[in-house]
Amino acid sequence: MAKIKKGYRIEKDSLGEVYVPKKALYGAQTQRAVENFPISGIKMDFPFTNSFVDTLGLIKDAAARANKKLGLLTSRKATAISRASKEVWQSKHNKEFPLDVFQTGSGTSSNMNANEVIANLAYKLNGIQIDPNDEVNMSQSSNDVIPTAIKVSAYKDLTEKLYPALEKLIKEIEKKEIAFKGLIKTGRTHLMDAMPLEISQELSAWSSQLKNVKKTLVFLEKRLLEMPLGGTAVGTGINAHPRFAKTFAKELSVLTGGKCKAISSENFFHELSSQDTAVQVSGELKNLAVTLMKISNDLRWMNSGPLAGISDIELKAIQPGSSIMPGKVNPVIPEAVSMACADVIGNDVTITVAAQSGNFQLNVMLPVIAYNLLKSINILSGSMNVLSKKAIKTFKVNHKNLELSLSKNPILVTALNPIIGYEKAAAIAKKAYKENRPIIDVAAEETNISKTKLSKLLDPSKLAKGGI
């Protein structure tokens, strides 16, 4: 036996002896992975969420309970595993998960990390020897544990973080819709002046987009709740009790207080070899990112100026905008949100490429899928919280600029098309633009229509309602 290094203990696995930090709850296989994958420094205990590590604890707890019910684990050992697992899913031992995201593609290292921590913790708490492979991992394989962890952690972060942030943003937009009802502005297509509309109508497009995203994500929840656990190594369920999968799903639902209404998957071969659910969820998160970028860019454009831009609105000044230009204030919130959204779009590309690595019976890029999917959910949640609180809630309308741009908007002549024809209307619009005059004055000179009637025909509030 090798001489023990100071501050270390010696543990064994199937490959031999390994030096493990003396105080660490993990064991030999985790330590090998720590030494094998010093790649990014990004740990599976992600900086933006505890949900993945927590979920590993939940899975081990529910599995132990299921194995006990099926007569595969003694009550004494099952209780010890459950007690230790609970501390993991309560985020009490996150520092014991030191592995890099870029590790074995199945996530075997992370699964064994959880098995070893729980086994050693069970001994520490209960004085009971528990085997990490034979007992904590009973009826399981890394190949079904990690896909299950991806689904459950994504579901938790969607329902607990993203949905509340999304609903908050929608409500703030809808409040603005009510506040600005009837307030008319110049529309813009191709960044050029277009027919008028209400600001509330413009904002309704934002809330409608966000509501559609929510509908799609809620639909995809069903897929997230179909558990791969029970397929074990290749989908056949080898070394698992025939009723283990359904029993596990029930126990998981109980442990989450019914919040995660898990069911057993109908096809384990599908669940282990494919990550199409992650691709679908990520795709809709990308759609949400695109929507938020559209809202952010609209805010930036509408706020541009204050003298040489559009300046329809004024975003609240929350910090100085320039290190050299005194008094300059920039739209920092929409900018930050747009950057976060760009990251989400990139995450979706990573997930798409990773999902292509479903070779035969197993996808071999599971950890990076977990990382990018949960990252997207969490930074979108944070982005929406910031956007709703520090941009949507606080922006004001520049009434003078709205009125000025409307009075000089030559495109209002579009309303005269049915009366005087397109060609005549175009000539009036060009003259008004060239002479920088109100369209009503030029139209009165170039047609036989009275100013009174023109006022009615060219009334922006009427035009915003559409029709002939």
Residues marked active site are found at 190, 322
Q: Are 118 and 64 in contact (CB under 8 A)?
A: no
CA 384 to each of CA 193, 293, 348: distance values in angstroms, whole numbers, following the listed order: 30, 11, 18
How far apart are the C-alpha atoms of 85 and 121, rounded to whole Å?
8
Q: How far is C-alpha 63 from the chain's CA centre?
A: 28
Residue 397 in tokens: 């309308």
Nearest CA to 366 out of 101, 39, 20 is that of 101
Q: How far is C-alpha 221 from the chain's CA centre?
A: 14
